[in-house]
């Protein structure tokens, strides 16, 4: 249904000034302005901030009232007595947001290819016209009927105008929810989760504090709390993840760590794919005859000291595809620190030396201790299942969730994950990398997945340093932002400090839901990352109240100032209240 944007009972005045940046409207009478102010509670603070429409010759224009002032002469005459008796002629400054076809207002033209003429009529925009168009943002005309929308809230300056937005417009180019503490970010994310559930989409939320644990299974939400209920299996860590976890120095320790991992993978392949053709002399050594040569495995460890290299090399090349696939690491990680010691033997001619290279072993000593400490730590073991796990495999949980049509949201809780040793950042980065790898194999192409990352500043723009202060970036979410959109994996970040998000990641966000922002650097971060964030729009950010936000982005022809509805289920944590002590 198409609504006329021009309601002549909402006439304001005429355009009397036109520039590329803005136009001005002349009010023939201040009575017109007073009529709207008294007529509805919808117009907070008068007309400033409200949407208006301008009737051109072939096009209409939608704009936003930025300011209202009196001409200099009338301003000098303004007093308490004259205000109620004298006729004034205010002037309004309007930012042009978009243009539309005058005869078919549903046809919106993004960008301003023309401007209103002097003398064009100006009206308050009708609620029906606005609410109808919000639903179409980000959707091709032929797909409008098939694209799910959800109720976000109402316009701040006209609470009669509902804001219904499509999931496509919000998430298809990634989304960032930003704002200071207490601005309403958590309620917005909860509203998004309700929208995901209501439209039947799929989402995973990384919840660092347990804030969204209030959603239960009745709301089609499943939960998996790390350490206490689930673990991310180390077998699904990539080689980069393992390097981040164990922090080997680049020049000395990385090669020996990599060789130790390969050796344990060879041992795993031999013990699980080839019958034991050798013999067992002392109950600990297994000798595998491989193509006429022997590979000795001692308690799961590849023994290299004094042995020929050819047998091991033959086994390595036989299972090369498995061993060099570092997306799956099936090996006994509990033996890794001991296997590193077994790698510290030089090769002479066709075999390894009988005596250990003490220089290499000395260089590897700190790595051996670090690997042993990580693997034996209860928290790390609970996170990655280094020992025999007693909780659920998170990868299995994720795959079951993706294949279960009755579930829409999986919350992965980090509330039990410790803050020390960058455990949270490493684990979140590993999860992000796993989902990115699934996306690269088109797991979400037909059924898109939204990945929510709450308190994103805890996880992004992080680096891990080794003992020589060489740093490795945790860049999984940065890579998701840059390449996963075409695979159907969409990212939604929530943070109170957008300045702490990498510039490359923030610039990939197509949609910004911006709550109150005061800090200059935060506002500049948004201004530089969002192409539609102009000076006029940003000027409203410090004055936003709790729950109020400005939505802007690539798929939004105009910024939308919205009062987000209270979610049905509120987040767990709110600002603590000071109370009087109870009397004894």
The DSSP call for residue 355 is S
pTM, to two decimals = 0.83
Helix (H) or strand (E) holding 127: helix 127-134
Rounded to whole angstroms, the Cα distance separating 412 from 423 reads 15
Rounded to whole angstroms, the Cα distance separating 221 from 231 reads 19
Share of the chain above pLDDT 90, in %: 39
Give the angle 549-573-477 at the CA atoms, nearest 5°. Answer: 65
**Regarding beta strands 392-393 and 230-231, do their DSSP bridges make them parallel or antiparallel, or are they unpaired?**
parallel
More confident residue, 423 or 346: 346
Instruction: Kindly give the residue spans of alpha helices, DSSP state H, lying in 319-422.
Output: 320-323, 336-342, 358-376, 378-384, 394-402
Collapse the DSSP code of 506 into the 3-class scheme (helix H, G, I; strand E, B; otherwise coil) and give the result.
helix
pLDDT, average across residues 284-289: 62
Ordered domains of the chain (ranges, CATH): 8-125 (no CATH), 165-219+397-407+422-463+472-564 (3.40.50.300), 239-381 (no CATH)
Residue 139 sits at φ, ψ, to 5 deg, of: -125, 135
Give residue 584's pLDDT: 55
User: Considering the chain, what is the average pLDDT of its residues?
Assistant: 84
| Segment among 289-293, 434-438, 532-536 with least mean pLDDT | 289-293
Collapse the DSSP code of 422 into the 3-class scheme (helix H, G, I; strand E, B; otherwise coil) and give the result.
helix
Position 1 confidence tier, pLDDT thresholds 50, 70, 90: very low
pLDDT digits (tens, 9 = 90+) for 447-461: 999 999 999 988 887
> Which residues of 216-329 form beta strands (DSSP E)?
221-225, 230-231, 285-290, 293-298, 301-302
| Segment among 32-41, 299-308, 415-424, 556-565 with least mean pLDDT | 32-41
More confident residue, 281 or 326: 326
Rounded to whole angstroms, the Cα distance separating 499 from 502 reads 8
Residues in the chain: 584
The DSSP call for residue 486 is G
> Which residues of 187-254 form beta strands (DSSP E)?
202-207, 221-225, 230-231
Contacts of 566 (CB under 8 A, 6+ apart): 187, 547
Position 183 confidence tier, pLDDT thresholds 50, 70, 90: confident
Contacts of 403 (CB under 8 A, 6+ apart): none
Is the per-residue pLDDT at 279 higher than 60? no
Give residue 275's pLDDT: 47
At 570, list the tokens: 């509120």
């Amino acid at each position: 249904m198409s609504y006329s944007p021009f309601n002549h009972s909402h006439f304001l005045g005429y355009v009397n000034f036109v520039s590329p940046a803005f136009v001005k409207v002349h009010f023939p009478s201040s009575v017109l302005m007073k009529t709207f102010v008294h007529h509805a509670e919808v117009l907070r603070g008068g007309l400033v901030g409200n949407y208006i429409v301008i009737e051109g010759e072939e096009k209409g224009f939608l704009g936003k009232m930025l300011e209202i002032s009196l001409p200099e002469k009338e301003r000098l005459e303004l007093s308490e007595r004259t205000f109620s008796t004298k006729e004034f002629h205010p002037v309004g400054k309007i930012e042009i947001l978009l243009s539309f076809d005058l005869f078919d207002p549903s046809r919106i033209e993004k960008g301003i290819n023309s401007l209103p003429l002097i003398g064009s009529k100006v009206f308050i925009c009708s609620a029906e016209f606005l609410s109808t168009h919000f639903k179409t943002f980000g959707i091709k005309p032929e797909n409008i009927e098939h694209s799910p929308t959800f109720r976000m809230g109402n316009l701040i300056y006209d609470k009669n105008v509902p804001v219904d937005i499509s999931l496509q417009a919000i998430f298809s180019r990634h989304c960032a929810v930003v704002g200071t503490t207490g601005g309403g970010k958590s309620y917005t994310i909860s509203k998004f989760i309700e929208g995901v559930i209501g439209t039947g989409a799929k989402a995973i939320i990384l919840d660092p504090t347990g804030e969204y644990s209030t959603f239960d299974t009745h709301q089609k939400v499943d939960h998996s709390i790390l350490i206490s209920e689930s673990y991310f299996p180390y077998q699904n860590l990539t080689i980069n993840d393992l390097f981040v976890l164990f922090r080997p120095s680049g020049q000395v320790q990385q090669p020996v760590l990599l060789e130790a991992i390969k050796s344990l993978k060879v041992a795993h392949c031999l013990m699980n794919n080839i019958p034991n053709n050798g013999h067992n002399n002392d109950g600990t050594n297994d000798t595998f005859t491989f193509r006429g040569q022997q590979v000795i495995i001692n308690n799961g460890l590849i023994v290299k000291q004094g042995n020929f290299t050819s047998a091991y090399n033959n086994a390595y090349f036989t299972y090369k595809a498995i061993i060099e696939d570092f997306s799956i690491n099936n090996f006994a990680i509990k033996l890794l620190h001991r296997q590193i010691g077994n790698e510290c033997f030089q090769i002479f001619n066709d075999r390894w030396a009988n005596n250990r290279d003490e220089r290499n072993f000395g260089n590897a000593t700190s790595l051996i201790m670090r690997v042993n400490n990580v693997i034996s730590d209860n928290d790390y073991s609970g996170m990655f299942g280094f020992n025999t796990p007693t909780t659920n495999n998170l990868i299995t949980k994720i795959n079951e969730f993706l294949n279960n049509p009755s579930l829409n949201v999986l919350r992965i809780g980090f509330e039990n994950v410790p803050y020390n040793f960058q455990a949270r950042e490493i684990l979140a980065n590993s999860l992000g990398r796993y989902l990115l790898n699934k996306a690269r194999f088109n797991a979400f192409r037909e059924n898109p997945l939204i990945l929510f990352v709450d308190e994103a500043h805890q996880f992004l723009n992080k680096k891990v340093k080794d003992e020589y202060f060489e740093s490795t970036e945790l860049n999984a979410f940065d890579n998701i932002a840059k390449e996963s959109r075409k695979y159907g994996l969409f990212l939604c970040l929530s943070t109170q400090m957008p300045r702490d998000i990498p510039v490359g990641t923030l610039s990939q966000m197509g949609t910004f839901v911006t709550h109150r922002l005061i800090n200059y650097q935060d506002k500049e971060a948004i201004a530089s990352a969002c192409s539609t964030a102009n000076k006029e729009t940003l000027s409203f950010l410090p004055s936003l109240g709790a729950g109020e936000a400005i939505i802007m982005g690539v798929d939004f022809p105009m910024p939308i100032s919205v009062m987000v509805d209270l979610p049905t289920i509120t987040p767990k944590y709110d600002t603590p209240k000071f109370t009087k002590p109870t009397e004894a």
